[in-house]
Amino acid sequence: MKIIYETLWWAAFLVCGIAFQTLVPKVDVLTGGVIILLQERNYKNLCWLLPACILLQEGMGTREFGAAILWYAAVIIFFKAGRWLFEAQNFLFVFLLSTCLGATSYALHWLLAPLQDIAFDTQNAVNASLLQAILLPCVWGILVTTRHWNKHVQEL
Amino acid sequence: MTLRRFLLLAGLLLILFLGMYSWNQQTRLLDDLTTKLGLEATGAVLSPLDSLMGQGKELWYKYVDLVNVREENIHLKQQIEILKDRLLAHAEDLAELKRLRELVQLPEVTGWKLLGARVLAGRMGPNAVLDSITINRGYVTGGRPGTPLRTHQGLVGRILKASAHSAIALLLTDPGSHIAVITQESRAPGILVGRGMNRQLEVNFVRRDTKVTSGEILVTSGLDGKYPKGIPVARIVHAAPSDYTQFMAITAEPLVDLQHIEEVLLLEPTGLASYMMNQNDAPLDFVGPPPPRTITP
């Protein structure tokens, strides 16, 4: 039964994530799912979700290939470093993580714009980074509340 | 893990990433793969959602939101009458144009097929750095990269990348968009460049001595080979001799409201062209110079 719940939940997550990204541009909602899997130490599911997220984000974007790899690598590195220092299951940790990821988003804009010969717009980059930093904890909160059957895993 | 090992690993991963990045820039293999899989999956998710939303809207507008429909109908009927009058007046001009074209044997290129497409989304995700829209036609269904997009009001842009059934189109407001245009009345050529969404467009390389006025319409000149000639693109907002260059400083605004488009028309090149010929001549199929005349001794 749990497998069915999991499959349906992840399918709904991807569909809702893509739909949400059409409403709020410049934001990566799928990162919320990656953080959930890292918190649950569910590396089996991470093996398919991470490539799926990279494919989707690169496919729907207009950057050259590579930005999504750097982004998700930063998510994993910051998460691992954060878990080494803090308790990784609470809102405060996710808030700190999202702040770091907001800065990473700005850094990626700055780094990749000249590589693709695009003008770097500071205001746009700041807006996108702030939006990412603010929305990620909210998305994480919604995702955690909808995964009630997995509560015992999160509490580990 | 010691610091030295960590730094070594990080350096190795960075080199691997840079290697992959430059390899992809040369071959575009990874870009193609993500477009074919990622964009296709996105389109597959968004198309049913869009269709569902469309049905909901249709239900609302057709059966619920019917306030002032009678008044609107009367107004539209009046407009039809006015337009019929205008059509009648232009019919004579059109006939004259046809006769004159035939007289000077001017080839009329009609090698573009119109295909309707629905806009699925605007910019999506953190990697959507260019002003773009996603449409529900891909390279299998007529939306190949480079295909121009327009609405009944004017030009929208052209397709940047496409999967089998979805495509991303670059809007004319993007700074990477350069379109060869010509002013409708003074026939002054120039290059229309985008400066980002919510900012006015810029027309470069228009000669100083041309008499360009505000309000004049810019149409595609077709000289860039990307767009067919004669599509309305933008309206000139301000035109004055530049203080810094030897050209005019012209700003313009797009004719299409690019933030609220729901449907677009794709101009698919058919490779066909029709020429003004005698009705008895066999039709020409492919674009190219007209056949040589028969030399009579």
Between residues B61 and B269, the one the model is more confident about: B61
pLDDT higher than threshold 50 for residue B297 = no
Closest approach of A75 to chain B, Cα-based (Å):
14
pLDDT of B254 reads 95
- Cβ contacts of B31 on chain A, cutoff 8 Å: 58, 64-65
Cα radius of gyration (chain A): 15
Closest approach of B127 to chain A, Cα-based (Å):
4
Q: In this predicted model, what pLDDT tens digit does every residue of B240-291 receive, in sequence order? A: 998 888 899 999 999 999 988 999 999 987 765 544 444 445 444 444 445 5
The residue-averaged pLDDT of B116-129 equals 91
A5-14, A26-35, A146-155, B161-170: segment of lowest average pLDDT: A146-155
Q: Residue B46, Cβ neighbours under 10 Å: how many? A: 23
The residue-averaged pLDDT of B207-234 equals 90
How far apart are the C-alpha atoms of B6 and B162, rounded to whole Å? Answer: 40
Interface mutation vs chain B, best among A49, A65, A135, most B CBs within 10 Å: A65
**Nearest chain A Cα to B31, which residue?**
A65
What global pTM score does this model have? 0.83
Work out the pLDDT band at B201, boundaries 50, 70, 90.
very high
Domain ranges of chain A: 2-154
B49-63, B114-128, B266-280: segment of lowest average pLDDT: B266-280
The backbone torsions φ and ψ at residue B101, rounded to the nearest 5 degrees and listed phi first, read: -60, -40
Q: In this predicted model, what pLDDT tens digit does every residue of B93-108 receive, in sequence order? A: 888 888 888 888 776 6
Q: Which of B192, B269, B268, B254 is nearest to B223 (CA)?
A: B192
The residue-averaged pLDDT of B131-158 equals 93
pLDDT higher than threshold 60 for residue B38 = yes
DSSP A78-137: HHHHHHHHS-TTSHHHHHHHHHHHHHHHHHHHHHHHHHTT----HHHHHHHHHHHHHHHH
The backbone torsions φ and ψ at residue B42, rounded to the nearest 5 degrees and listed phi first, read: -60, -45
Interface mutation vs chain A, best among B127, B163, B171, most A CBs within 10 Å: B127
Q: In this predicted model, what pLDDT tens digit does every residue of A69-105 receive, in sequence order? A: 999 999 999 999 998 888 878 889 999 999 999 999 9
Between residues A26 and A150, the one the model is more confident about: A26
The residue-averaged pLDDT of B16-30 equals 91
For B263-276, b/e burial (b = at least 16 CB within 10 A) is ebbbbbeeeebebb
pLDDT of B1 reads 63
Q: In this predicted model, what pLDDT tens digit does every residue of A92-102 receive, in sequence order? A: 999 999 999 99
Task: Name the average pLDDT for chain A.
Answer: 89
Cα radius of gyration (chain B): 25
How far apart are the C-alpha atoms of A137 and B154, rounded to whole Å? Answer: 42
- Residues B41, A59 contacting (CB under 8 angstroms): yes
Q: Which of B237, B239, B219, B236 is nearest to B228 (CA)?
A: B219
**Dihedral sign of CA atoms A118, A119, A124, A130 in order:** positive
pLDDT of B284 reads 47
The residue-averaged pLDDT of B55-76 equals 89
Provide residues of B within 8 Å CB-CB of chain A: 13, 17, 20-21, 24-25, 30-31, 33-42, 45-46, 49, 120-130, 132, 134, 160-161, 163, 168, 170, 175-176, 196
Between residues B132 and B294, the one the model is more confident about: B132
Domains along chain B? Answer: 22-66+109-270 (2.40.10.340)
pLDDT of A151 reads 59
Quote ipTM for the complex: 0.87
Closest approach of B49 to chain A, Cα-based (Å):
8
Query: Long-range contacts: A145-151, Cβ < 8 Å, 24+?
Result: A146/A9, A147/A9, A147/A36, A149/A2, A149/A5, A150/A40
